[in-house]
Structure 1
Amino acid sequence: MKKKINHAQKTIEGEFVKLKEGYILDAATGKPVDGRNPEEEVRQEYEKILHENYAYDYKQMDINVQIRRGAKKQKGKIDYADIVIYKTTDKSKRDQHRDVLGIVETKRPNKREGIRQLMSYMSATSCSWGVWTNGKEIEYLYKDLETGEIKRDFIYQIPSKGETFEDIGRLSKKELKPAKNLKPIFRRILYTLYANTNISRREKLGSEMIRLLFCKIWDERYNLDKIPKFRLGFKDKPENVKKRVLELFEDVKEELVEDGVFDKNETIIIDAKSVMHVVGELEKFSLSKTNRDVIGDAFEVFAESKFVGEKGEFFTPREVVKMCVKIIDPKPHERILDPACGSGGFLIYALEHVWDIMDNSPKYKDHPKLDTLKKEIAEKYYFGIDKEIDLVKIAKAYMSIVGDGKGNIVQADSLKSPKDWSPKTKTLFSNADETLKQFDIILTNPPFGAKIKIIDEDVLENYDLGHRWKKKGEASEEKWKITGTVKKTEPQILFIERCLDFLKPGGRMAIVLPDGIFGNPTDGWVRQWIKDKAEILAIIDCPPETFMPHTHTKTSVLFLRKWDGVKKKNYPIFCGIVKKCGHDARGNDIFKIIEEEEILDEEFSEITQNFLDSNDRIVKGFNRKGFTLYEGKLKNGILIPRYYNPDTVKELENLEKSGKYELIPIKELIDKKIIKLRGAGSTVSPTDYGSGNIPFIRTSDISNWEINYDATHKVAEDLYYKFKEKQDLKAGDILFIKDGTYLIGDTAILTKYDLRILVQSHFTIIRCLNEEKLDPFLLLFLLNIPIVKKQIDEKTFVQATLSTIGDRLSEVILPIPKSKELREKIAKETKERIIQRTKLREELKNTFFQ
């Protein structure tokens, strides 16, 4: 995965250097390289693998190394190898005919050409092995140093530092080392198998990998002094490797068939060569010794290959999981459930949190059977449910690595009635009367999405939140009341109720939910129901990138404690607004440097600490990384922290204190009839596109405060006249994008040249009714200053599949300069620039068509 760093980088000599935009320092040599280049991304990732997983010293490596091809004493063609690994760190020993150990080629995405190039480098040097990879696929090449013959499909792994090929596969199980960077290895396995195996459907590879991973895990658990069966010896035959793996799988099934992980007739179906490739990539690592973050990330490569986005399931980023666990703070002997457990991340981190408590508690740390107690905790107190069998298998594998607990993870639909569950699921999760068993803690990220609504009335009728709710009046203080009619409902809403049903009175819960639930007026009934059933402990506002690149859905994390007795009023709610999640929209990690140490650039951990440092959720001070709201003072029941952003409040207060600005809400301007807001009102069918020459202005057709008169789509004149009177466009009207995905708050002002158009319904039209009191060009300017754009963003919520600011636009506060001279100057200069550009556009158009 590409790594970004927000500051200057440290060279291998320990000095910090400033780099050109997009450049990074090569990990091995310290040379500046263009980090925006995808091929550079592959090279940097593989250098890290060579260092962390194979123990090669960075000083043994060099990049862009000249390789002269041809006879030793003759001048031949010169090419440049991507990575060369030398036999020693001695930089005086760099002769290509004596000192080269291995070569890695990463710069050619075409596999055939890349391997041809690599083979030519190997022939011209003393190297005994080569690697070709494009970041997705990988192939290993072997050179017989006696004959010079280069062989493909002969080795499936390279030696670590100090090893020979003969040493590979000879390590005992206890000598296996933890892996530091498994995710790229798993990703390459997936793509290599997809391109080369006998299985044509990619999603089936996930199931095959689960089987192989269980074989690997099983092999590591017993007879630690022996050589693993999950190994690949030098010159081993593919059939022999697969035979050993199949023997392991029979042992795995013997234990796990009853547990529902595998069927008794199930087998490994990928071809022997593919099995050999997987074994070669993983044989030297111990999964049981590997850091849990690494294991979780690696497992999700296979889970994501089948499940991401397909049914609203998006895997929870590790930083979010850690935050939830630390805030909920599970204790030993508390029963924990994730009813949408996916690959098991919440359960694993909760278990390790509890184990850490035990390691440091006087009650447990000196206990002679501490390891046994830990295993009992995993087996008795950790439970998971997921609808997808392959995810269940991954979660079981994950729990097996950590220390068992796999028996309490089952395949089932959490939302269905216990009467529809399997006997084992009923035993674990329901009582004899088919009521739900209850747990101390729920940690979950349920499937979410407006496109995957639950429509089964037999399911919906079991939920309050599966019914229609109505208000007697429109006032925000009016209470919602349930009706007797069920309605199609998003799964995340039903999961809220199911989770609270699973929770004991006084039990604690963390759930990831889309933002719309927390703020949309139409979802007020959900918020009312939640507050009736539980105390809101905290809400953490996550940045849009949190679940990217898989979905741009904006989320927050809700922390609850189920009411146990008297329901409190006006209690404190801890709030935090995260702006940095540790990765960008493409999923690339972003780092920062603190005291010369490179760490993930995220704010979840800081906000978590602020919660832990608070006095029962009451925070001293007022900033976005930790502040207190009170339940009785929520505006219109809105639970979105950024809606109350303390930083914005302070910024507006400072503007007012300066004495230079008058802070006026847009609603006040409307009430005083200074401006008017109305909808655009027209809807044009895509079938009408291209039917004429009238520009149909969509949200993508405005930029730089102007409309694009040469719009993407144009419609017939009769449609224009149909909507002309209703739209009633005038010069000076401001088009404001009110809903959509990314462009909310963008604006354009209409001039006399722009009136023969139709406007999409995603716009609000703002008209100045009293230009002496507020010039439209001054208003346009004010709508685009940072403090106003910030408010617009904070008051924009997701409704169904679109984001919208809705009526909350009227709450936006405009800092209007008190100086009449300044107001006039801003209006005059804004108008001149826009009119000048628009006039030039018209002159050019008229000249061209004369």
Structure 2
Amino acid sequence: MANEQQTMNKLRDFISGKEIRESPEEKEAVQPFLKILHEDYGYPKNLLQAHPQYRVKASPSDKKGYPIDIAVFETIQNEKKLKIVVECKKKDRKDGIEQLKSYLKFCEARIGIWFNGEESVYIQKIEKSGNIVFEEISAFPKHNEKLSEIGKYLRKDLKPTHNLKEIFKEIRGRIVANSTGVNRDEQIAKEMILLILCKIYDERFTANDKMVRFRASVDESDKEVRDRIDELFADIQQKYDDVLNKQDTITFDSKTLKLVVGKLQNICITETDRDSVGDAFEVFIGYSLKGSQGQFFTPKNVVRLMVEIVAPDKKHTIIDPACGSCGFLVESLKYLWHTLDKTIENEISRAEEKMALAIKNIRGIEKDSFLTKVGKAYMTILGDGKGGIFCEDSLELPKNWGELTKSQIKLESFDLSFSNPPFGKDIKVTGKDKLAQYALNLNKKEGNVSTLFLERNLQLLKKGGRLAIILPETYFHAPSTRYVREFLTQHNIEWLIDIPHNTFRPHNNAKCIILILQKDTKQQKFINMAVAEFAGHDHNGKAIYHVDGSVKDDTPTIIDEVRGRTDEKKYTFEVEAHKVIASDILIPRYFWKSKELEIADIAHRKNLNMVSLQELIDHACISFFDGHGSPKGELKGEGSIPYIRVKDIVNWQIYKDPTAMIPTSEYDRLFSKAKQLKPKDILFVKRGSYRIGSVAMVSPNDTHVILTREILVLRVNTQSATKQYGMTPEYLLYAMSHVITYKQLENKIFIDTTLPNIADRWKELQIPIPRDASQLEQITKKVKSAITKQWGFLNIVDTLKNHNDVFYT
């Protein structure tokens, strides 16, 4: 869903809350950096200014001054003074450093920041012998912090962040531009993850009142920082020599190393709401290098939601057969430890119990060798759970696994399984013996990876064991995947949770559902459901905010509702299982009543009756048929007859794209008398990447066209419709465009493979009809007037196009 801050090429300024003009510079640099300054560096909004722009003067007589993008102030003896000048550019701009230096010369600020959304440079103004010089620094101060205090952080000073991915992107930009020897993304990723492990280790084993080792002071040399980080990494290698070996080294040059440490040092990675290892992979490796293997990491808030609902117990054995960097296993371990913290008072006993849980209860399998190493290291640092992580192909025959794996992981032996398996049409599983293990493998030559993982997860569980898994939405409604739903209904469906389409964007476009299933158990009477409309970030992976500045994330509220910590249940509800299974639709938002109640309230206030399209069909008020089909690709643009696609339905009219005209022979092949268009037919988009619900009215000049099958034709039987409901074609066009109708689309449009599709659920749409007949007549007259004028204009345009000789004398 679109960020609330962006409407009609406008942005809402993060500081003032006022609408401002959207520009690449504003969107990519100014607004994101304001959030970083406020959220990660603690500057109050009253000490930040971007709109209106603060101006620095070149001299006392300079009346106008130079506008700066972001002014950061500090309060000294109750007086507000300029502390930092920030110069922002859009992503493809590299200039501005000299401009920033000029601004610093004109003002009292001593620190300057240059930022273009992906790269940053921090500089310090120094006066030497009457001259002003500039030096680059590795970090800039937080609120109420001096330059000399940077990097001297106690463990308790570290704070979590919502902007981790943005920080990683900034680090990547600086490394690529400045690092010597390490500048390929895959190489950078491995270096970064080793550094992240250093930071996790430092956070884990540094006492709250002690200074952390993962730090970089402004007054330290590059070598001093390097020596301390090398020493920290050596400690990890020595302590965990069975996970990290001598060949694992941090090879960033000293300047780059100090820069990276400087940008991460004040953040608490272990408490942030993002998976730091997963985010590092997403930022540094990118889709081109890992997308073919489906290695997309589950956001930590979604992981936490699943773990909280399943609520592991210390007696449970837990496995993730596609564990990646161990996000589910780490969160499960933290959940269990939190329980122990509340139940075991003796510190030594509690520590021993925590260690035992990590060693005995946690298992993971990962196919990628580097991810396995990362997962082992992560689990080791947290609680010595490294022995339970194995590098294997989970889908392989268990007898072909390594001996150690076979001794530790057996089918039908686990209580809980968590999984976000790889998915994608390009990831195929082959091998006759391998595929023979799975009842869900309908194609005996190659298998769908996510379907097979679903079955493998259940094979790993004991009877009564519980599976929490993320699967593409298409499994929960599409006719082509009915066999999967039939498989699911052999078990107890406990929970279905709708998560936003943006959850895995921008790296993966899949819209997914969380399923919690109990193996070989009778179906419970009610299926629990939840709908999360927002999960903290937009389609670009950037944090999104409410007007009050809080992150738009529904998952914590869902957890509170599940735990009974709220009186009102906004996102969670239950539906009778037999109704869900009978509908063959296992998608929560389809059953979510909040939208229906909202619509009913609007209808009541506006004095409207709500009538379904199915009712109009049943009463012979409207008839319908699908579009004609698609012409051969090579014939598009080769004729004079319009081919109308989804994108051609706009503003109640049909656009005839000259590049899509087809020959008469192709028209004859696709046309049928049963689908002959008539003036005043209504065209409705029912499938496509966008514009589902868009409508247009067929004009007398539009009847001789071919429609794609994604367009539905609705025809009003005026005599019957007018008699029963006062309905006219013009009113139906209006009603199908009404906000009440559009609100219903959100819960009825599902992702079918890759494209949104409303299928036959369009018949369930309820259209508003005024109880006051005179109001309906008035609307019909207005629409008829607008359409008549529109058609008249198009007739003039067509005449001019067909007689272009009038322009010549």
Structure 2: distance between partners of 1:103 and 1:818: 61
In the TM superposition, 1:362-761 aligns within 5 A as 364-366=344-346, 368-396=348-376, 398-399=378-379, 402-430=382-410, 436=411, 438-467=413-442, 486=444, 488-532=446-490, 534-564=491-521, 567-568=522-523, 571-592=525-546, 599-613=550-564, 625-631=572-578, 634-647=581-594, 661=609, 663=611, 666=614, 675-710=622-657, 713-725=660-672, 727-761=675-709
- Other structure's SS at 2:336 match: helix
- Other structure's SS at 2:76 match: coil
Structure 1: distance between partners of 2:274 and 2:708: 48
Q: Which range moved further: 675-684 or 215-224?
A: 215-224
Structure 2: distance between partners of 1:163 and 1:393: 38
In the TM superposition, 1:693-842 aligns within 5 A as 693-710=640-657, 713-725=660-672, 727-768=675-716, 771-773=719-721, 775-812=728-765, 827=780, 829-842=782-795
Deviation at 1:301, TM superposition (A): 3.9
Structure 1: distance between partners of 2:797 and 2:498: 49
Determine if the alignment matches structure 1 residue 326 to structure 2 residue 308: yes
Q: Which letter does structure 2 place at the counterpart of 1:805?
A: I
Deviation at 1:337, TM superposition (A): 2.1
Structure 1: distance between partners of 2:590 and 2:241: 51
Structure 2: distance between partners of 1:77 and 1:821: 60
- Other structure's SS at 2:118 match: coil
- Other structure's SS at 1:466 match: coil
Deviation at 1:740, TM superposition (A): 1.6
Q: Which range moved further: 671-680 or 189-198?
A: 671-680
Structure 1: distance between partners of 2:75 and 2:611: 69
Deviation at 1:439, TM superposition (A): 2.0
Deviation at 1:538, TM superposition (A): 1.7
Q: Which range moved further: 45-54 or 542-551?
A: 45-54
In the TM superposition, 1:182-201 aligns within 5 A as 183=164, 184-197=166-179, 198-201=181-184
Q: Which letter does structure 2 place at the counterpart of 1:764?
A: L
Aligned to 1:156: 138
Match of 1:23 among 1, 12, 15: 12
Structure 2 segments unaligned to the other structure (5+ residues): 723-727, 804-809
8 Å contact kept, 1:623–1:645: no
Aligned to 1:300: 279
8 Å contact kept, 2:749–2:756: yes
Match of 1:66 among 32, 42, 55: 55
Distance 1:55 1:598, change over 3 A: closer
Structure 1: distance between partners of 2:513 and 2:169: 29
Aligned to 2:807: none
Aligned to 1:80: 67
Q: Which range moved further: 158-167 or 121-130?
A: 158-167
Superposed CA offset, 1:62-98 (max 9, x none): 664433336xx7769942344455664345474xxxx
8 Å contact kept, 1:429–1:437: no
Q: TM-score, normalised by structure 1?
A: 0.80
Q: Which letter does structure 2 place at the counterpart of 1:646?
A: K
Aligned to 1:15: none
Aligned residues: 784
Structure 2: distance between partners of 1:226 and 1:556: 44
8 Å contact kept, 2:162–2:272: no
8 Å contact kept, 2:186–2:285: yes
Superposed CA offset, 1:284-304 (max 9, x none): 4474xx552256257514434
8 Å contact kept, 2:631–2:670: no
Q: TM-score, normalised by structure 2?
A: 0.84
Deviation at 1:785, TM superposition (A): 3.7
8 Å contact kept, 1:539–1:574: yes
Match of 2:187 among 192, 199, 204: 204
Distance 1:140 1:821, change over 3 A: closer
Structure 2: distance between partners of 1:401 and 1:90: 45
Deviation at 1:351, TM superposition (A): 2.5
Superposed CA offset, 1:535-583 (max 9, x none): 011212234334344444332221212235xx35x72112233334444
Q: Which letter does structure 1 place at the counterpart of 2:442?
A: H
Aligned to 2:322: 340
RMSD: 4.1
8 Å contact kept, 1:682–1:761: yes
Percent of aligned positions with the same letter in both sequences? 31
Match of 1:34 among 20, 23, 26: 20
Deviation at 1:698, TM superposition (A): 0.6
Structure 2: distance between partners of 1:733 and 1:67: 63
8 Å contact kept, 1:664–1:816: no
8 Å contact kept, 1:518–1:527: yes
Distance 1:313 1:791, change over 3 A: farther
Aligned to 2:806: none
